[in-house]
Amino acid sequence: MSGTIEVRYIEESDYGDWVLATRRGFLRPPVREDQDTSVTPSVMGIEPARTQGAFDGGRCVATFRTLPRELTVPGGAMISADAVSSVTVTATHRRRGLLSRMMARGLAAAKERGDAVSILVAAEYPIYGRFGFGPATWVTDWTVEIPRARLGRHELPDGARIDLVDGAEVRKVGPELHERVRRLTPGAINRTENFWKLYTGEVELFSHPWTEPHHAVYRDATGRVDGLLTYAIDDVWDGKMPQDTLTVRSMTATTPEAERALWRYALSVDWVVKLASGSRPPDDLLPLLLGDPRAARVTSHADFMWLRVLDAVTALEARGYAGTGELVLQVEDADGYADGRWRLTASPEGGQVRATGAEPDLVLDVRELGALYLGDESAVRLAALGRVEERRPGAAARADALLRTPRRPWCPETF
């Protein structure tokens, strides 16, 4: 019975047991006695005050933690986000309400701290809607058949260059580059020092054995680092013919020039016949950069970052709006956090949100607000699905004109 199981914030003395529980929950092989997992908590950046465990007879059987993150919203502002991670329940203890208990406590703590939203990367689609989260960003993975791509000859812009660098150099230039990338990318979050250590293999997580990747840095004519591509290449030969695949681990850039140049570089490495793009924004330049876009086949297209609005006023006032207009939204939130009827007055100068008694234009659950918030989902589409109720004709289209963004939001990493 879940009543006999204690759900609580952990202490340092729980670290070892808690880490083993996350491994069990994520179905990783059991740890042998001679294997040392003691470094894992510091690499993961565990903060006991934000880390819960469920304990049955003193043994950890469920895990849940949150990370303090800044989330870029449309318009370029950054809001404080409670990033949920390491959610597991051991197979013997599933479906007894342990996730529900940890989530209820986690969301209450985030609201109390003043976080405007909670975010997470969902392992499976059906898990988090019931807790008020909606899919806010999506990702597409492509596989490019390079011999069919018709890339043509191409030059770097005058004075620009691409250099292969080692992990130490990435730790020097990567953080500053990402600070610029994330300001330009609604849906992106800040990266910690630990992120860069893991990215470059300076430290390793016991659960993720490391293989050294290649790093290519794009510099513009002034020497400014505008892009970073990290990739691995396998070494496959068929008789005397190379059949290598280049797999992108990460690619971010601050300018379209850098992005185009890094894709072209990756698509023109000798011996490589296939490129696996990794998870990209669905409107990535990649397919249309090819002479034959059909050479890029979609290998996966799925929801990625889910978002739960905790404070409708702060969240909606923080983001930018392309158009000018007013909208009365009735947000239904069973947990009460974002519940209310809100009048949004938006213009390119910003948004103002006030509680109102006026008739609503749209009635929607907080999940749908999460899906709409970063500009990715369409209110017209949700209305057609019956998930947003349009009380005034044309209100969903007006909402789209205010909320949607020219490029789709994207979160470049799992957290």
Q: Is the CB of 126 or the CB of 152 nearer to ligand ACO?
A: 126
Burial 357-371 (b: 16+ CB within 10 A, else e): eeebbbbbbbbbbbb
Contact 107, 344 (CB under 8 A): no
| Residue at token pair 């003691």 | 38
96 is known to lie in a ligand binding site: yes
Q: Work out whether 267 is an interface residue with ligand ACO (CB under 6 A).
A: no
Q: Work out whether 99 is an interface residue with ligand ACO (CB under 6 A).
A: yes
Q: Work out whether 98 is an interface residue with ligand ACO (CB under 6 A).
A: yes
378 is known to lie in a ligand binding site: no
Q: Which residues in 191-230 contact ligand ACO (CB under 6 A)?
A: none
Tell me the two tokens of residue 171. 């730790």
Q: Is the CB of 51 or the CB of 86 nearer to ligand ACO?
A: 86
Q: Is the CB of 120 or the CB of 188 nearer to ligand ACO?
A: 120
Distance CA 309, CA 303 (A): 17
Radius of gyration of the chain (CA): 23
The contacts of residue 381 (CB under 8 Å, 6+ apart) are: none
Q: Is the CB of 96 or the CB of 191 nearer to ligand ACO?
A: 96
The contacts of residue 274 (CB under 8 Å, 6+ apart) are: 143, 144, 145, 146, 243, 244, 245, 246
Distance CA 313, CA 317 (A): 6
Amino acid at 250: S
CB 107 → ligand ACO: shortest distance, Å? Answer: 13
Q: Work out whether 123 is an interface residue with ligand ACO (CB under 6 A).
A: yes
| 3-state secondary structure (DSSP) of residue 15 | helix
Q: Work out whether 33 is an interface residue with ligand ACO (CB under 6 A).
A: no
First to last CA, the chain: 31
Contact 389, 383 (CB under 8 A): yes
Give the residues across from 245 on adjacent strands. 274
Tell me the two tokens of residue 255. 């300018």
Contact 116, 81 (CB under 8 A): yes
Q: Work out whether 63 is an interface residue with ligand ACO (CB under 6 A).
A: no
User: Site map for ligand ACO, 74-93, x if CB under 6 A?
Assistant: ----------xxxxxx----
CB 373 → ligand ACO: shortest distance, Å? Answer: 18
Q: Is the CB of 88 or the CB of 330 nearer to ligand ACO?
A: 88
Give which of 300, 297, 288, 299 is closest to 260, Cα–Cα.
288
Q: Work out whether 96 is an interface residue with ligand ACO (CB under 6 A).
A: yes
Q: What are phi and psi of 267, to 5 degrees?
A: -85, 0
Q: Count of H helices and E strands in the chain?
A: 11, 21
Tell me the two tokens of residue 183. 């300001």
> Which residues are marked as active site?
128, 415
CB 90 → ligand ACO: shortest distance, Å? Answer: 7
CB 333 → ligand ACO: shortest distance, Å? Answer: 18
Kind and range of the H or E run holding 19: helix 15-25
The residue within the footprint of ligand ACO, chosen from 95, 153, 208, 240 (CB under 6 A), is 95
Q: Is the CB of 87 or the CB of 309 nearer to ligand ACO?
A: 87
CB 278 → ligand ACO: shortest distance, Å? Answer: 19
262 is known to lie in a ligand binding site: no
Contact 394, 361 (CB under 8 A): no
Q: Work out whether 127 is an interface residue with ligand ACO (CB under 6 A).
A: yes
129 is known to lie in a ligand binding site: no
Q: Is the CB of 195 or the CB of 214 nearer to ligand ACO?
A: 195
97 is known to lie in a ligand binding site: yes
Distance CA 360, CA 355 (A): 11
Q: Work out whether 405 is an interface residue with ligand ACO (CB under 6 A).
A: no
The residue within the footprint of ligand ACO, chosen from 37, 100, 250, 347 (CB under 6 A), is 100
CB 113 → ligand ACO: shortest distance, Å? Answer: 18
CB 105 → ligand ACO: shortest distance, Å? Answer: 12
Interface positions with ligand ACO (CB under 6 A) = 25-26, 84-89, 94-100, 120-124, 126-127, 130
Binding-site residue ranges: 87-89, 95-100
Binding-site residue ranges for acetyl-CoA: 87-89, 95-100
